[in-house]
């Protein structure tokens, strides 16, 4: 059967809900693979000039909701920065490729123009984003599991979603973050490490900015207010019964009522628990001095000159700051 041409939006900031499944629907992704795919999603989005609104990584498929960022044609320094984003821990080969790219662009000859066109063709395009993401992850997965052949089933599916904080965007984002609940892996998406909401609650940053796209009047909201508003919207959708009334929602009425009572705000103790849980999957956790010492030893061991700082995990619980927590994440 002939493949249909993929429907794409002409909107300057188009939003797509993309889904890709493993071959034969096999449950191939353990926790390590899910974590690597999560990292690849962010790295590839940075390269592609795409914003990740949310995502969910399951054992045999993943969802990602992305927005194509409108921007001017990037200059050479931006092209180089984006390319480096694909290789946060470059191998010798990747380091050599980066050096070649940099010298070619600097020479500004015919080869530089060709290279610019090749790189730009891979950016700002949802198909190229998914192609790069799936190819890079497949190489890692096959090498790590001593396998060969295709990892993915048919072409990824994509749905154009109306953006600009439209109701359709909120519904789609909630559907994606509720995937682990629907699969019976957790009763609350905040406890699932490999979804956008779970990441946003635990470490904030870029995923809060992604979820901000789903909230009306979000420009006036703090990060905490964004998370609270999204939590209420997401749990409300999950708690709603099916239209035909044959089945109750996947979110318990008690959980939704509890969220409503506190305005969607998670208690500080719960937020700290989730943040510490996220970073304890790394290599070292403790005071800043403790982590710095181990980080220094680790960098010497791998013969690295990289300037890596301990990650701040939790605020101090005392005036002297002695109980602040920091962590060092293990290299993937």
- Average pLDDT of span 277-303: 71
Q: Enumerate the domain spans of the chain.
A: 15-69+127-267, 76-123, 282-328
How high is the pLDDT of residue 80?
93
CB atoms within 10 A of CB 207: 23
How high is the pLDDT of residue 320?
42
Question: Is the separation of the CB atoms in 69 and 124 below 8 Å?
Answer: yes
How high is the pLDDT of residue 325?
66
Task: Name the strands in the sheet holding 15-21, side by side, starting at the edge strand that comes first in the sequence.
Answer: 50-57, 61-68, 15-21, 157-161
Spatial neighbors of 84 by CB under 8 A, at least 6 apart, are 90, 98
Confidence of residue 301 (pLDDT cuts 50, 70, 90): confident
- Average pLDDT of span 2-27: 77
- Which residues on neighbouring strands pair with residue 157, listed in sequence order? 19
CATH class belonging to 15-69+127-267: alpha beta
Using a 10 angstrom Cβ sphere, with 0-12 exposed, 13-18 middle and 19 or more buried, the burial of residue 323 is exposed
Structure token pair of residue 6: 């993929």
- Average pLDDT of span 271-289: 72
Angle at 194 between CA 190 and CA 199, to 5 degrees: 55
- Average pLDDT of span 254-281: 85
Which residue reads 């493993």 in tokens? 22
Confidence of residue 274 (pLDDT cuts 50, 70, 90): confident
pLDDT at 5 over 70: no
3-class secondary structure per residue, the chain: CCCCCCCCCCCCCCEEEEEEEEHHHCCCCCHHHHHHHHHHHHHHHHHHCEEEEEEEECCCEEEEEEEECCCCCCCHHHHHHHHHHCCCCCCHHHHHHHHHHHHHHHHCCHHHHHHHHHHHHCCCCHHHHHHHHHHHHHHHHHHHCCCCCCCECCCCEEEEECCCCCHHHHHHHHHHHCHHHHCCCCCCHHHCCCEHHHHHHHHCCHHHHHHHCCCCCHHHCCHHHHHHHHHHHHHHHHHCCCCCCCCCCCCCHHHHHHHHHCCCCCCHHHHHHHHHHHHCCCCEEECHHHHHHHHHHHHHHCCCCCCCCCEEEECCCCCCCCCCEEEECCCC
Confidence of residue 1 (pLDDT cuts 50, 70, 90): very low
State what percent of residues in the chain have pLDDT above 70.
Answer: 85
How high is the pLDDT of residue 282?
56
**Which of the residue ranges 47-61, 179-193, 271-285 would you say has the lowest mean pLDDT?**
271-285
pLDDT tens per residue across span 193-248: 999 999 999 988 899 999 999 998 888 899 999 999 999 999 999 998 866 555 56
């Amino acid at each position: 059967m002939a493949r249909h041409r993929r429907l794409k939006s002409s909107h300057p900031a188009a939003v797509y809900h993309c889904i890709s499944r493993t071959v034969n629907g096999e449950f191939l992704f353990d926790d390590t693979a899910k974590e690597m795919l999560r990292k690849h999603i962010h790295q590839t989005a940075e390269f592609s000039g795409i914003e990740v609104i949310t995502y969910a990584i399951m054992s045999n498929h993943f969802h990602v909701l992305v927005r194509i960022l409108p921007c001017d044609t990037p200059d050479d320094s931006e092209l180089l920065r984006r390319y480096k984003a694909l290789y946060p821990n470059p191998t010798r080969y990747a380091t050599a490729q980066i050096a070649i790219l940099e010298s070619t662009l600097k020479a500004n000859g015919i080869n530089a123009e060709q290279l610019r066109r090749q790189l730009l063709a891979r950016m700002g395009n949802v198909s190229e984003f998914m192609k790069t993401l799936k190819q890079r992850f497949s190489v890692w997965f096959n090498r790590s599991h001593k396998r060969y052949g295709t990892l993915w089933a048919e072409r990824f599916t994509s749905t154009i979603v109306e953006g600009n904080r439209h109701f359709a965007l909120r519904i789609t984002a909630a559907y994606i973050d509720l995937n682990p609940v629907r699969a019976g892996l957790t009763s609350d998406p905040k406890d699932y490490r490999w979804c956008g909401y779970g990441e946003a609650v635990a470490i904030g940053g870029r995923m809060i900015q992604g979820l901000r796209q789903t909230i009306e009047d979000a420009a006036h909201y703090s990060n905490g207010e964004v998370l609270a508003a999204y939590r209420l919207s997401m749990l409300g959708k999950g708690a709603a019964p099916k239209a035909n009334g044959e089945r109750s929602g996947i979110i318990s009425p008690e959980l939704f009522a509890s969220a409503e009572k506190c305005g969607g705000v998670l208690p500080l103790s719960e937020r700290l628990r989730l943040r510490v849980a996220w970073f304890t999957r790394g290599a070292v956790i403790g005071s800043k001095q403790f982590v710095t010492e181990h980080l220094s030893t680790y960098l010497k061991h791998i013969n690295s000159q990289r300037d890596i700082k301990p990650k701040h995990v939790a605020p101090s619980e005392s005036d002297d700051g002695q109980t602040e927590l920091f962590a060092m994440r293990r290299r993937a």
